[in-house]
Amino acid sequence: MSGLVPDVASGNSVYSGDHMDEQSWKIGDLAAATGLTVRALHHFDRIGLLVPMLRTPAGHRLYTDSDVRRLYRILALRQLGMPLAHIADSLDGDLQDFGSAVRAQLSHVERTIETHRHLRTRLTALLQATLRATEPSIDQLIQAMEALVQANDFTPKQLAQAKRRHLEPGFPDRFAGWRRQGTEIVAELQAHIDGGTDPADPAVQELTRRWTAVIRDMAAGEPAMMSSIYARIERKGPEVATRGVLTAQVWDYLQRAFAVGFGT
């Protein structure tokens, strides 16, 4: 990018017509200098975003100094993820347009981040619920997915089963055990966050496995139930759904660690 100067020495870029002294770039040189493709510059030309001021008699595009300056601005705005049409409006319009275009882009980016955060939650939950369970059958998969998609937290069947388990002898002790283990894991994760540990670190990955084991135990090994638990966390928020065990910060970190772990 910083080497974007006219290639006068080689003579390649200078149109040796009437205006010997005017600097101009051929499309290939400009593409190489900016890292764009020739096709992209063709495209910019076609849509009127960057129409080169000169052509050779043979019809070859020649980009002048002012064209290159405009291209600079285009690339800067493109780096912000702005649509080319908005870039054209901004460059041809006034500052007012520019401000609103940037704001529109910002709110769009913000929405994208939010929706993808939810997607990530659902994806990690699904992997959690199925792929590490013993022999995940198609039916279990479907149930897990449906649990994720459903609007309410738990199905009547799940509630009935939960009630039965609730009445089993020793249940309160097991429940207290889950809380204790969860709190421990969260505390260790928080320590890693404060220490700046990478989520891919083996110690963190081990913590994710311990976390999964606790949840799986709570769900009695049923993927659909595990999905429901994660769906509940997503909808109610980590603090409410886990009654204070999990914080938003740790939950985000945990998911990043999951994502890394599954990626390998």
> 3-state class of 152 per DSSP?
coil
Cβ neighbour number for residue 98 with a 10 Å cutoff? 16
Which of a second copy, DNA, none does residue 202 bind to, with CB < 5 to 8 Å depending on kind? Answer: none
Residue 61 CB contacts under 8 Å (≥ 6 apart), including other chains: 26, 27, 41, 45, 52, 54, 55
DSSP for residue 23: -
- Residue 159 sits in the site that holds a second copy (CB under 8 A): no
Burial class (CB in 10 A: 0-12, 13-18, 19+), 10: exposed
- Specify whether the CB–CB gap between 84 and 49 falls below 8 A: yes
For a second copy, which is the closer residue by CB, 13 or 140? Answer: 140
Interacting residues toward DNA by CB under 7 A = 26-29, 31, 37-40, 42-43, 56-61, 78, 83-85
CB of 103 to a second copy, least distance (A): 5
What residue spans of 81-170 are helical by DSSP H?
A: 84-92, 95-126, 138-149, 156-167
CA pair distance 13, 212, nearest whole angstrom: 62
**Which of a second copy, DNA, none lies near 71, with the C-beta cut-off 5 to 8 A by kind?**
none
Residues with Cβ within 8 Å of 56's Cβ and at least 6 positions away in sequence, in order, are 15, 17, 62
Q: What is the DSSP string of 197-218?
A: --TTSHHHHHHHHHHHHHHHHH
**Residue 136 interacting partner from a second copy, DNA, none (CB closer than 5 to 8 Å by kind):** a second copy
Going residue by residue from 193 to 232, which x/- string records binding to a second copy, judged by CB under 8 A?
---x------------------------------------
| 128-147 residues near a second copy, rule: CB under 8 A | 131, 136, 138, 141-142, 145-146
Our finding on whether 76 is near a second copy (CB under 8 A) is: yes
Which x/- pattern, by CB under 8 A, does the window 81-110 give for a second copy?
Answer: x-------------x--xx--xx-xxx-xx
Interface residues with a second copy (CB under 8 A)? 1-2, 72-73, 75-77, 79-81, 95, 98-99, 102-103, 105-107, 109-110, 112-113, 116-117, 119-120, 122-124, 126-127, 131, 136, 138, 141-142, 145-146, 148-151, 196, 239, 249, 256, 259, 262-263
